[in-house]
Each structure stands twice: as C-alpha cells, then as structure tokens.
Chain A
Amino acid sequence: MIQKKVCLIGTSAVGKTSLIARFVSSIFQDKYLTTVGVKIDKKNVVVEGREMTLVIWDLAGDDDFQRLNLSYLRGSGGLLFVADGTRQITLDQVLEIQSRVVGAVGSLPCLLALNKADLKACWEIADEKITDLRAAGWRVLSTSAKLGTGVEEAFGELGRLMLPPIT
C-alpha cells in the first residue's frame, strides 16, 4: 500500500492540531492546547480509487518561542501549510516559514489551508490576497476544523497530489 508522510506547518494557534483531530477522529475542541513537540497520526484514505496511508505529523507551531525543526520534514510526501484566516499576520508568517522549508526540503506537493472559515465575520484575509497567492502558484483552500468544511477536501487534494503514477 502507498504510504505518505504529511506535515502540517504554520505558526501557533492556527488550527493544525484541530484540522488533524477533525480529519482523523471527527472531533473538535474549543479550548486551545498548544502542541509542544511532535505527534503522529495515521489515516487510511482512498484517493482516485487507490488506497493510501497518510502518516500525519502534527508539528508545534513555529513562533518566537520555538522554531520549526526542519529535520522533522525529512521524507515528507506533502505539506499542508496552515494560516488562520482571522489573523492576517499568520498568513505572512506561514509564507516566511515556507521559504525556510523550501530551502531545506525543496519543493513538495503542498496546499495552503486558510482555517477558521466559520469565523467569516472576523475574516482578515482579503479576496485579492488569495487571488495573488493563487497567481503565485499556491493551491489555497478554506477550511473549518470547527465545522469540518473543507477538511476532507484538503487532505484528499493533498493525497491526489502525492499519488504516484500507476506503473
């Protein structure tokens, strides 16, 4: 069976852990419990009719208190970058992290999830910004770990991007 490592990358409190909890266990919690270190989950998915095991690495948020350890990314098949749509700054931060990541592991299949889509009333990311990101080659999805919207789609899309060609 195909097995692929996926890392979730972004600054703290954007919802990396919540997206994984929603995707793997269909749960969501409002209380913020920061991730210190790494936690790995697995989930089997079927992508375009082919079975695949996603080995999902939940990494601690990269911020002033703790930097992302780039060696955790080794062997990744794909990366899910996450920003919090209600905090524009987290988008700037994840783009900065991404440049460090590309320097370390090269370019891999990746997606950018703008999370907390359920909080549209507090949304800070302008539609033009998203258009610009797409024009720059980003695949951008909006997700809500709280409601579940876009979550299956995000992991499914990443799965598709990582699917090896049929030999």
Chain B
Amino acid sequence: MPAPPLSPSPAVAVLEALGYGLFVRDAADGQLRTISQPPAWLAQLWPALDAPGSVLPVADASPFLENFLLDAAACWAAAGEQRLSSGPWVERDPQGGESELEATALTLPNAGGAVLLIQRLGEEFTDRKSVLQKSRENVLINQRLNTELQKKDILLHCIAEDMSAALGNVITSLRLIELEQEPAKIRRLLDLAALATQEQQSLVAHVLDAFADEIRCLYGGSASDSRRSACDVATVAQETVAALEARFREKRVRFNFPTPTPASARVAINREHLERILTNLLENALDAARVGGGVALRWKVETDTVLVEIEDSGRVLPPETSERLFSRFALASSGAANAETRLHFCRIAVENCHGEIGYEPRADEAGGVYTGNIFWFRLPKSPALVSR
C-alpha cells in the first residue's frame, strides 16, 4: 500500500525556502519521490526532477548519494528517532556548475515514513569551511616551526661539537706541556695549541658570518634590492680566488682559472653576496679536494643568465646526500655543519636573486666514472646587459 503523501503544506514550503529538497520513500517501489514541485536548484542538478512525484535519480546520477542511501536504508529500517547525516559533498550539474549539499535521512511515522532531506549548503557552511581552513593552515605553520626548531637544535649541536673538538686539542697540548721539559718540544706544543685556538676562532667567525649574512639576506636584501645591484663575475672571482690563495697553497691543491679569461659577465646580485657564494663554494671544494688535487672555476654567458661552475676532484658525494645538499641540515648527520651552513646560505642568496643552484657529480672523459663534484649556480644577467 503506498504511503500516504506528505501534504504539500506550509511546512514543506518553509523547508524549501530554507534550501531543502524533500523526498519520501514510496513503500510500493522503494523509490524516493518529491512530494511537491522540486525547487529550481534541484531541477538544475538533476533535470529528471521536474514535477511533483519525480523520482530521485540515484544509480548513475550521484555515486555519493547511492552510497549514502545504503546507510539511510539501515536508518529507516530501524524506524527509530535517529537521524543520519551524509556529511557535506559536492555535486556537479550537467552544465558543470557545482553545489555543496548535505543529505539527512529520518523517519517520520506520521508523514510518510522514510524521509530524505537534501540541503543546499549556504552561509553557515562557508563559515564552517573557513574555520577548518584556518585551523589546518595553523597546524601547518605550527609543524613548520617545530621542524625549524628541531633543525636549529641539530645545527647548534654540530657547532658545539666542532668547537669542543678544537678546544680538546688545546687542552691536550696544554696538558702535554705540563709534562714536557724540552724547550723545543714545548715550543711545538704551544704552536699546536695556538693553531687549535685559531681554528676555533675561525669556526666561530664562520658561524657568526653565516648567520649575519643569512639574516641580512632574509630581512635586508629584498629581491628588488638585488635586482638593482649588479657586479662582474670575472672581477669578483679573481678577488675571491686571490683571498683564498694561501689556503690552496697550504693544502697543495691546484687552482685552475679559465684560460683565456672569459669576457666580463655582469650579473644581477649584490657584490658582497656573490663574493660570499664564491668563497663558500670554493672553501667547500677545497675541503673536498684531495691533497695535490685540483679545483677549477669557470663561467659561461648564456642568453639571459650566467652559469658559474666550481669543480673539484674530491670524493664523489653519495646520491642520497646530493639530493638534499642545499637544505640547511642536509649534512648535519655527517657532522659537516660548516659545509652545510655555507651551502644553505648560497641557496638563499642565489634564490633571492631569482637564480638557481645545483650539484652534479663530475664524470670522466668517457662519461662513465664519476671523478669529482661540480657545484653550479646560475644568476640572471644584470638588466642593463639583457636589454642591450
């Protein structure tokens, strides 16, 4: 026996005005039918809903509703007072427009039995969404801060280790002096202690420099600043190399400058930053190079950019390290805090000027075996040069 129709009373009109579509399950065939003229938005979504008594198309029309109606059926079968909500979903109409909907199944014994309400979600939903959006963005910010803090801890730990190693050397030398009688040996131990102290001092200076530069880079040197400043790769490279000459000689590492020296290449970066990037990369290359090995620096003028490469003949970095090289803490676990602060700084400085930086292993002539490392960066030419 068909269920008595829900009278299209003022109650129904109110519901529809509130954005609800109302369906009652026909006990005869189990179909969900509208009891009055469906509101326009429903007809737009499912054109089959064009008259009172039209059947809600389920099977192909909405995989979401099809799934929900299985839960709804259980709710109707229980015939209790509970209501079941589908949760919000997005439905697309045949024109490609999207509506946000939510369905509720409930049983109204006096009004046709199994009832399905489909609500077109309005303003409260927009509010709910924006609360969720904000909450989730905050979680992301919070996670990012936490990671940053953890990484800072690791870095501090590495720096402390490096410093305490140097301090250890000083202490050992001093202890040995206490036991030593022979002036020549005491002299030698004093030299060692002095060397270790210097090492520690330069380490501290390095850390301070790196942080100061980073901060200047992040807060002081905005991208527009760097676009305004420009300098010549050739000049800066020559000066940087000259400053490092003693250290190259000390380690007996050959330094190869390009011959003939390439034409000047002006790039859009502030001079201090370029100096620092070159120094950092050359120092890393020097650390990596074998005693008696070589380091080369060269650059190439491209259409809108200048490519600079620093090549060393040191041990090739393992791929898992090289992929993450420029992240600040890439090498933290290997204890190379120094190298990593330098690389991280390079990345910030290069990217701030809209450049890119990267690494690749150096292959031998035949291209088969890797025999060293190449660090490269690419900077935009200074605007004057590009427009010419």
Q: Which residues of A contact B (CB under 8 A)?
A: 5, 12-13, 32-34, 36-40, 55, 57, 61, 63, 65-66, 69, 71-72, 74-75, 87, 89, 120-124, 127
In the bound complex, CA of A32 to CA of B139 (Å): 13
19 pairs from A and B in contact (CB 8 Å cutoff): A13-B136, A13-B139, A32-B137, A34-B133, A36-B88, A37-B88, A37-B100, A38-B87, A38-B88, A39-B90, A40-B63, A57-B63, A63-B136, A71-B71, A72-B67, A74-B67, A74-B70, A120-B324, A122-B327
In the complex, the answer to whether A34 meets B63 with C-beta atoms within 8 Å is no
Contacts of B87 in A (CB 8 A): 37-38, 69, 72
A65 in complex: contacting residue of B135, B140, B147, B324, CB < 8 Å: B135
> When A13-B140, A65-B136, A71-B71 are in contact, do A37 and B63 touch as well, CB less than 8 Å?
no
Residue ID in chain A nearest B70 by CB atoms: A74
> Which residues from chain A contact B64 at a C-beta distance below 8 Å?
38, 40
Nearest opposing residue in chain B for A126, CB measure: B320
CB pair A87–B90 under 8 Å, yes or no, is no
Nearest to B102 among chain A residues (CB) is: A37
Nearest CB to that of B328 among chain A residues?
A121
Q: How many residues of B contact A (CB 8 A)?
A: 31
| Minimum CB distance partner of B67 in chain A | A74
Enumerate chain B residues within 8 angstroms of A127, measured Cβ to Cβ: 320
Q: In angstroms, how far is the closest chain B Cβ from the Cβ of A68?
A: 10
* Residue B323 lies at the interface, judged by CB distance under 8 Å to chain A: yes
Chain A nearest Cβ from B81, distance in angstroms: 20
| Residues of B with C-beta under 8 A to A89 | 143
Most buried by B among A36, A38, A87, A124: A36
The answer to whether the Cβ of B129 comes within 8 Å of any Cβ in the partner chain is: yes
Are B90 and A37 neighbours in the complex by a CB distance under 8 Å?
Answer: yes
| Inter-chain contact A66/B132, CB cutoff 8 Å | yes
Min CB gap A115→B, angstroms:
14
Residues of B within 8 A of A34 (CB): 129, 132-133, 136
The answer to the question of B299 belonging to the interface, with a C-beta cut-off of 8 Å to chain A, is: no
Query: Which residue, of A34, A63, A69, A127, has the highest number of chain B Cβ atoms within 10 A?
Result: A34
| Cβ contacts under 8 Å, B20 to chain A | none
Most A CB within 10 A of own CB, among B88, B89, B129: B89
Nearest-neighbor residue (CB-CB) of B88 within chain A: A37
- B90 x A63 contact (CB < 8 A): no
Known A38-B64, A74-B70; contact A121-B327, beta-carbon cutoff 8 A: yes
Q: Residue A71 contacts which of B67, B320, B327, B330 (CB distance < 8 angstroms)?
A: B67
Q: Determine if B128 is an interface residue (Cβ-Cβ < 8 Å).
A: yes
A64 CB to nearest B CB, Å: 8
Q: Do B128 and A36 have beta carbons less than 8 Å apart?
A: yes
CA distance A124 to B324 in the complex (A): 10
With contacts A36-B132, A63-B139, A66-B132 known, what are 13 further pairs, Cβ within 8 A? A12-B136, A32-B140, A36-B125, A36-B128, A37-B88, A37-B89, A39-B90, A40-B89, A57-B63, A71-B67, A75-B67, A120-B323, A122-B327
Residues of A near B23 (CB, < 8 A) are none
B326 within 8 Å of A by Cβ? yes
B84 nearest CB neighbor, chain A only: A71
Nearest CB in chain A: distance from B62 CB, A: 8
Minimum distance in angstroms from A113 CB to a CB of chain B = 18
* Chain B residue with the shortest CB-CB distance to A122: B327
A33 to chain B, nearest CB (A): 7
Cβ of B63 and Cβ of A55 under 8 Å apart?
A: yes
Query: Which residues in B have their C-beta under 8 angstroms from that of A5?
Result: 63
List residues of chain B with CB within 8 A of the CB of A36: 88, 125, 128-129, 132
The CA-CA distance from A40 to B101 in the complex, in Å, is: 13
Q: Provide the residues of chain A in CB contact with B102, threshold 8 Å.
A: 37
CB-defined contacts of A57 to chain B, threshold 8 Å? 63
Residues of B within 8 A of A66 (CB): 132
In the complex, the chain B residue whose C-beta lies closest to that of A120 is B323
Distance in Å from the Cβ of A156 to the closest Cβ of chain B? 22
Q: Closest chain B residue to A5 by CB distance?
A: B63
Residue of B nearest to A55 (CB): B63
Residues of A within 8 A of B327 (CB): 121-123
B155 to chain A, nearest CB (A): 15
Question: Which residues does chain B contribute within 8 Å of A32, judged by CB atoms?
Answer: 133, 136-137, 140
Residues in B101-138 with C-beta less than 8 Å from chain A: 102, 125, 128-129, 132-133, 135-137
Q: Which of B139-174 contact A (CB under 8 A)?
A: 139-140, 143, 147
Q: Which of A12, A33, A38, A123 contacts B324 (CB 8 A)?
A: A123
- C-alpha spacing A61/B139, complex, angstroms: 13
- Kindly report which residue of chain B lies nearest to residue A75, judged by CB atoms: B67
